[in-house]
Protein backbone atom coordinates (compact mmCIF):
# COMPACT_ATOMS: atom_id res chain seq x y z
CA UNK A 1 0.00 0.00 0.00
CA UNK A 2 1.28 3.42 -0.86
CA UNK A 3 -0.15 6.91 -1.01
CA UNK A 4 0.94 9.14 -3.87
CA UNK A 5 0.47 12.87 -4.25
CA UNK A 6 1.25 14.96 -7.28
CA UNK A 7 2.18 18.52 -6.36
CA UNK A 8 2.81 21.50 -8.56
CA UNK A 9 1.27 24.51 -10.17
CA UNK A 10 -1.41 23.24 -12.54
CA UNK A 11 -3.89 24.83 -14.84
CA UNK A 12 -7.39 23.42 -14.68
CA UNK A 13 -6.89 21.14 -17.70
CA UNK A 14 -3.57 19.72 -16.45
CA UNK A 15 -4.93 19.21 -12.93
CA UNK A 16 -7.96 17.35 -14.32
CA UNK A 17 -5.70 15.15 -16.49
CA UNK A 18 -3.52 14.29 -13.46
CA UNK A 19 -6.56 13.61 -11.30
CA UNK A 20 -8.13 11.28 -13.86
CA UNK A 21 -4.90 9.32 -14.35
CA UNK A 22 -4.29 8.90 -10.63
CA UNK A 23 -7.93 8.08 -9.85
CA UNK A 24 -7.96 5.42 -12.60
CA UNK A 25 -4.73 3.92 -11.25
CA UNK A 26 -6.20 3.83 -7.73
CA UNK A 27 -9.33 2.13 -9.02
CA UNK A 28 -7.29 -0.69 -10.55
CA UNK A 29 -4.31 -1.07 -8.22
CA UNK A 30 -5.79 0.09 -4.92
CA UNK A 31 -7.53 -3.18 -4.03
CA UNK A 32 -4.57 -5.57 -3.92
CA UNK A 33 -3.90 -5.83 -0.19
CA UNK A 34 -5.79 -6.98 2.90
CA UNK A 35 -6.11 -3.48 4.34
CA UNK A 36 -6.29 -1.84 0.93
CA UNK A 37 -9.66 -3.46 0.30
CA UNK A 38 -11.02 -1.47 3.23
CA UNK A 39 -9.05 1.73 2.65
CA UNK A 40 -9.46 2.17 -1.13
CA UNK A 41 -13.15 3.20 -1.04
CA UNK A 42 -12.31 5.96 1.42
CA UNK A 43 -9.35 7.09 -0.69
CA UNK A 44 -11.58 7.23 -3.78
CA UNK A 45 -14.10 9.36 -1.88
CA UNK A 46 -11.37 11.61 -0.48
CA UNK A 47 -10.05 12.14 -3.99
CA UNK A 48 -13.42 13.59 -4.93
CA UNK A 49 -12.66 16.55 -2.64
CA UNK A 50 -9.56 17.17 -4.77
CA UNK A 51 -11.79 17.13 -7.83
CA UNK A 52 -14.00 19.82 -6.35
CA UNK A 53 -10.88 21.93 -5.80
CA UNK A 54 -9.81 21.34 -9.40
CA UNK A 55 -13.16 22.56 -10.66
CA UNK A 56 -12.63 25.86 -8.83
CA UNK A 57 -9.43 26.57 -10.77
CA UNK A 58 -10.18 29.05 -13.56
CA UNK A 59 -9.79 28.00 -17.18
CA UNK A 60 -6.44 29.05 -18.71
CA UNK A 61 -6.82 32.30 -20.64
CA UNK A 62 -3.35 32.52 -22.16
CA UNK A 63 -1.17 29.69 -23.32
CA UNK A 64 1.54 28.65 -20.91
CA UNK A 65 5.14 27.80 -21.65
CA UNK A 66 3.95 24.34 -22.73
CA UNK A 67 0.62 23.03 -24.06
CA UNK A 68 -1.83 21.70 -21.45
CA UNK A 69 -2.15 17.97 -20.87
CA UNK A 70 -4.98 16.11 -22.53
CA UNK A 71 -7.51 15.29 -19.76
CA UNK A 72 -8.66 12.21 -21.68
CA UNK A 73 -11.87 10.37 -21.04
CA UNK A 74 -13.69 10.62 -17.68
CA UNK A 75 -12.63 7.95 -15.19
CA UNK A 76 -15.63 5.64 -15.64
CA UNK A 77 -15.26 5.73 -19.43
CA UNK A 78 -11.74 4.32 -19.24
CA UNK A 79 -11.00 0.58 -19.04
CA UNK A 80 -9.62 1.08 -15.52
CA UNK A 81 -12.86 2.70 -14.37
CA UNK A 82 -14.96 -0.06 -15.88
CA UNK A 83 -12.72 -2.71 -14.30
CA UNK A 84 -13.05 -0.95 -10.93
CA UNK A 85 -16.80 -1.45 -11.02
CA UNK A 86 -16.25 -5.12 -10.10
CA UNK A 87 -14.67 -4.57 -6.65
CA UNK A 88 -16.86 -1.50 -6.06
CA UNK A 89 -19.95 -3.56 -6.87
CA UNK A 90 -18.83 -6.40 -4.59
CA UNK A 91 -18.11 -3.95 -1.81
CA UNK A 92 -21.53 -2.39 -2.32
CA UNK A 93 -23.15 -5.81 -2.11
CA UNK A 94 -21.36 -6.55 1.15
CA UNK A 95 -22.33 -3.18 2.59
CA UNK A 96 -25.96 -3.83 1.67
CA UNK A 97 -26.02 -7.56 2.43
CA UNK A 98 -24.73 -7.40 6.01
CA UNK A 99 -27.50 -5.11 7.35
CA UNK A 100 -30.08 -6.96 5.24
CA UNK A 101 -29.02 -10.33 6.67
CA UNK A 102 -29.05 -8.91 10.19
CA UNK A 103 -32.56 -7.57 9.62
CA UNK A 104 -33.77 -10.90 8.24
CA UNK A 105 -32.18 -12.70 11.18
CA UNK A 106 -33.96 -10.42 13.64
CA UNK A 107 -37.30 -10.85 11.87
CA UNK A 108 -37.06 -14.62 11.56
CA UNK A 109 -35.77 -15.06 15.10
CA UNK A 110 -33.57 -17.73 16.59
CA UNK A 111 -34.03 -21.37 15.68
CA UNK A 112 -32.51 -22.63 18.89
CA UNK A 113 -29.03 -22.42 17.41
CA UNK A 114 -28.87 -26.10 16.48
CA UNK A 115 -31.06 -26.14 13.40
CA UNK A 116 -33.59 -28.66 14.77
CA UNK A 117 -37.25 -28.05 13.96
CA UNK A 118 -39.56 -27.48 16.90
CA UNK A 119 -42.15 -30.12 17.76
CA UNK A 120 -45.27 -29.36 19.79
CA UNK A 121 -47.64 -31.66 21.66
CA UNK A 122 -50.54 -32.78 19.47
CA UNK A 123 -48.61 -32.45 16.21
CA UNK A 124 -47.18 -35.31 14.18
CA UNK A 125 -43.62 -36.05 13.15
CA UNK A 126 -41.49 -38.28 10.98
CA UNK A 127 -38.03 -39.67 11.75
CA UNK A 128 -35.81 -39.60 8.65
CA UNK A 129 -33.07 -41.58 10.42
CA UNK A 130 -32.85 -45.08 11.91
CA UNK A 131 -33.48 -45.39 15.64
CA UNK A 132 -31.78 -44.62 17.97
CA UNK A 133 -30.63 -41.73 15.76
CA UNK A 134 -33.13 -38.90 15.42
CA UNK A 135 -33.74 -36.65 12.46
CA UNK A 136 -37.26 -35.57 13.28
CA UNK A 137 -39.33 -33.18 11.25
CA UNK A 138 -42.89 -31.98 11.78
CA UNK A 139 -45.44 -33.30 9.31
CA UNK A 140 -49.20 -33.02 9.00
CA UNK A 141 -51.09 -35.67 10.95
CA UNK A 142 -53.26 -36.42 7.90
CA UNK A 143 -50.18 -37.23 5.80
CA UNK A 144 -49.31 -40.83 5.01
CA UNK A 145 -45.70 -39.99 5.94
CA UNK A 146 -46.59 -39.23 9.57
CA UNK A 147 -45.05 -41.85 11.86
CA UNK A 148 -45.52 -40.45 15.37
CA UNK A 149 -47.88 -38.23 17.32
CA UNK A 150 -46.03 -35.86 19.64
CA UNK A 151 -47.24 -36.20 23.22
CA UNK A 152 -46.38 -34.17 26.31
CA UNK A 153 -45.06 -36.63 28.92
CA UNK A 154 -47.29 -37.11 31.94
CA UNK A 155 -45.42 -37.09 35.24
CA UNK A 156 -42.16 -36.80 33.28
CA UNK A 157 -42.41 -40.29 31.76
CA UNK A 158 -43.58 -41.57 28.38
CA UNK A 159 -46.11 -44.36 28.01
CA UNK A 160 -44.92 -47.87 27.29
CA UNK A 161 -44.00 -48.29 23.61
CA UNK A 162 -43.42 -44.55 23.06
CA UNK A 163 -40.11 -43.14 21.93
CA UNK A 164 -38.44 -40.16 23.60
CA UNK A 165 -37.47 -37.20 21.39
CA UNK A 166 -34.27 -35.36 22.10
CA UNK A 167 -34.82 -32.19 24.15
CA UNK A 168 -33.53 -30.07 21.22
CA UNK A 169 -36.82 -30.71 19.42
CA UNK A 170 -38.94 -29.10 22.15
CA UNK A 171 -39.84 -25.42 22.21
CA UNK A 172 -37.73 -24.68 25.30
CA UNK A 173 -34.86 -26.99 24.30
CA UNK A 174 -34.80 -28.85 27.64
CA UNK A 175 -38.07 -30.83 27.75
CA UNK A 176 -38.14 -34.31 26.22
CA UNK A 177 -41.35 -35.03 24.33
CA UNK A 178 -42.88 -38.46 23.77
CA UNK A 179 -43.40 -39.88 20.28
CA UNK A 180 -46.38 -42.24 20.15
CA UNK A 181 -46.24 -44.49 17.06
CA UNK A 182 -49.22 -44.10 14.71
CA UNK A 183 -50.90 -47.27 13.49
CA UNK A 184 -51.35 -47.22 9.76
Q: What is the CA radius of gyration of the chain?
A: 33
* pLDDT tens track for 132-141: 888 898 999 9
- How confident is the model at residue 115, as a pLDDT? 66
Q: Does this model's pTM top 0.85?
A: no
Mean of the per-residue pLDDT values of the chain: 85
- How confident is the model at residue 110, as a pLDDT? 57
Give the model's confidence band at 112: pLDDT under 50 very low, under 70 low, under 90 confident, else very high. Answer: very low
163-164 vs 148-151, strand pairing mode: unpaired
Amino acid sequence: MRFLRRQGVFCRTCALASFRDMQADTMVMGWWGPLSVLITPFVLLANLSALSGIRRIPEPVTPGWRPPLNPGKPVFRRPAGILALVPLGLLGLVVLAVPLLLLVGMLVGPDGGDGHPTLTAGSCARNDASWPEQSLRPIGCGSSEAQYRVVDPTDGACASGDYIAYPEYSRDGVTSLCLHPLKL
